[in-house]
Every structure is written in C-alpha cells, then in structure tokens.
Amino acid sequence: MKINLTTTLKKITTKRTGSRKRAPQNRTLTLSRSDRKQLLPSLLTQLPTRRRRKPVTGIACGDYQDWVEYLPLGSVDLLMLDPPYNLTKSFGRLKFQARAERKYTEWLRDVIGRLVPLLKPTASIYICGDWRTSLSVMDVVNEIFQVRNRITWEREKGRGAKSNWKNSHEDIWFCTMSKNYTFHVEQVKHRRRVIAPYRNADGSPKDWDEGCDGNYRDTHPSNFWNDLSVPFWSMSENTDHPTQKPEKLVAKLLLASTNPGDYVLDPFGGSGTTAVVAAKLQRQCLSIDLNQDYCLWALKRLEMVKQDTSIQGYEEGVFWQRNSGK
C-alpha cells in the first residue's frame, strides 16, 4: 500500500516567508517575484514517462514516492535521508503530525523500503534523527543495512526546557549496503588547536604543526561532532527552513563516503543543502521536496554556487573548529 506523504503531512495555511521584514544585516535567503519567474523553469515537476537508465539530477518538486518509480535501479552511491522527525512540526504549508513510536517506525520502514532498490551494492546511507526518532531508525536499519556507526552532533540552537533536559544533540546513523563501501578518512580530518604543544628532544613539534596563526593538529574524525554552527541569520547559507542542516555537516558525509561524480539522492531535500554541497564538491545529486518554496530556495542557492563554492568551516582540505575564523 502506498503511504502518500501528502496525506501524512497535513496541509495548513501560512504566509510566504518572502514577505517578512529583515534587518539590514540579515543574510537569510529570500525570493523575489523575479527570482520565482527565473527559477521556476529549472524546477523538475514533470515525472518521466518510464524508468530512467541514467541518473536524474536537479531539484524536483513533488512526492519522493512518485519519483522513485522512475529513477534508475542500483544507481545511487549515497542516500542522504533527513525525514520529518517524530514531532509535530510545520513545513511551510504542510504539517507533520507526531504519532506513536510503532506507527512512526512503520512509516519509516516504508520510506526506506522504497529507496533500497535504487542503491548500489556499494552505497552508503546516512539517516538523521533526534533522540526519539533514533529509536525507530535503529529498529529499521538493523533489519535492512549494515550499521557502521551513530554520529552525534551538537546543535547550539534551541531553547531550554522547564521540565526536562534541553535537547541540544541530534544523531546521524551511518549504514552501508555491504562490506564493500567508500570511506575517505583522510578527506575529513579535523584541525584542532594545540593547547599544550609537546616537542621532541630536538625542539621540533611532536605530532602537531607550528604556524604563524597558531599551533594545530589534524586529527581523525570521531563520531561526536561539536564543530558545527546551525545556519542562522548572518550566514549566507541560511534559509527559513525549520530544520536546515549545516553545509559543513553534509560536506563531511559526502567527502567521506563518495567520490567526485558519484550520485547522491536526498528524497526529503528541504532547502537544498545536500544538492548545494554536492555541486560544490563535484557530485551529482537529485533533491526532492513537496514544498515549492523550499525547492526554489534550493535552486537559488545552486545559482549562488556559481559565484562561491566555499563551505563555512572547511578550508585547506580540513575541517576547522567552530569560531576559528574559517
């Protein structure tokens, strides 16, 4: 039975975000009428007439369940899955309703089950979730994939809770289809400032580098990430999407688990962060979302990539600590 996402997401009425007044320093992306007119022709809205043999790339507006019927089987190198968490939350004119854990697990199992035929035998899968959603993710991925790790990343955004601990972390489950998969550890090293710089007997740095702007050590990445900044108003990558992930986060996943030219699929593409990072790193990508505004934001961000391919916090081939000026 097809569980249509448009019935799962309840329709609500909201105003377009483009009408909000912004402070002069606010760099949050907006869409003008001329932007919409220019970008709409580039939006993928028409489903193919038959299943494609070659990857479909770009920004698609629609239900992922419709699109997966026409995408090439066994073509995806990396699946970036950031579904609605098991929370009641509005996404523009649509609202996802929280449900019993068993019901959410069933829904997630159906989502992943539809996507598996599109994956290569060597594919990697990353699935995002908060602590509650992770309970369902763990049940489902253990049935289908080989679970490699669970990354926990720190969000500095969020308000405190009066009767519980503040939720300031989220999870990313790292899975693969098989034992044969891509992982480039050298491409995702973390540059940390050295506080206590030990030296060898000859006075040379011991396991660290000495530079004019400080002392640093490039370390292997762990499964706890505290170097990310959730997009906010002064960042050019920021949009009004309620659950936007940082470009730096997605860059780590793509650099570790894909090669240039590989095909990335994001069936809950939101404001296009996966597609944007894929373009900056020379990967192919299809990003799908139901919300037309989100898709147009993604297209505008892709236009901006033509002028700026930088990723905040990623420079000189390494990821820098937060607030390092990189």
Banded pLDDT at 196 (limits 50, 70, 90) = low
- 175 DSSP β-pair partners: 125, 147
CA angle 90, 92, 96 (to 5 degrees): 30
* Two structure tokens written together for 8: 């799962």
pLDDT of residue 57: 97
Mean pLDDT of 297-313: 94
Q: Among residues of the chain, what percentage have pLDDT more than 90?
A: 67
Do residues 11 and 93 make contact, with C-beta atoms less than 8 angstroms apart? Answer: yes
Is 136's pLDDT higher than 60?
yes
Instruction: Please determine, looking at this structure, whether the domain spanning 27-186+251-312 carries the CATH number 3.30.830.10.
Output: no
Q: How far is 293 from 233, CA to CA, in rounded Å? A: 18
Average pLDDT of the chain is 89
Report the length, in residues, of the chain: 326
Two tokens, residue 183: 């992982």
Residue-wise pLDDT tens digits, 73-82: 999 999 999 9
For 242-251, write each residue's pLDDT tens digit: 888 999 999 9
pLDDT digits (tens, 9 = 90+) for 151-180: 999 987 666 778 988 888 999 999 999 999
Q: Which residues contact 128 (CB under 8 A, 6 or more apart)?
A: 81, 82, 83, 170, 171, 172, 245
- Over 70: is that where the pLDDT of 9 sits? no
Q: Tell me the average pLDDT across 225-235.
A: 81
What ranges do the domains of the chain cover?
Answer: 27-186+251-312
Give residue 3's pLDDT.
55
What are the E-state strand segments in 276-325? 284-289, 314-315, 318-320
pLDDT in tens, 105-134: 999 999 999 999 999 999 999 999 999 999
Q: What is the phi/psi pair of residue 152, to 5°?
A: -115, 125
DSSP string for residues in 94-140: EEEPP--HHHHHHHHHHHHHHHGGGEEEEEEEEEEE-HHHHHHHHHH
CA distances from 240 to 18, 108, 214 (A): 9, 25, 36
Helix (H, G, I), strand (E, B) or coil at 143: helix
The pLDDT value recorded for residue 238 is 83
Kindly state the average pLDDT of the residues 1-22. 54
- Global pTM reads 0.89
Residue 202 pLDDT class (50, 70, 90 cuts):
low
Cβ neighbors of 282 (< 8 A, separation 6 or more) are 260, 261
pLDDT over 60 at 143, yes or no: yes
Give the H/E segment covering residue 159. none
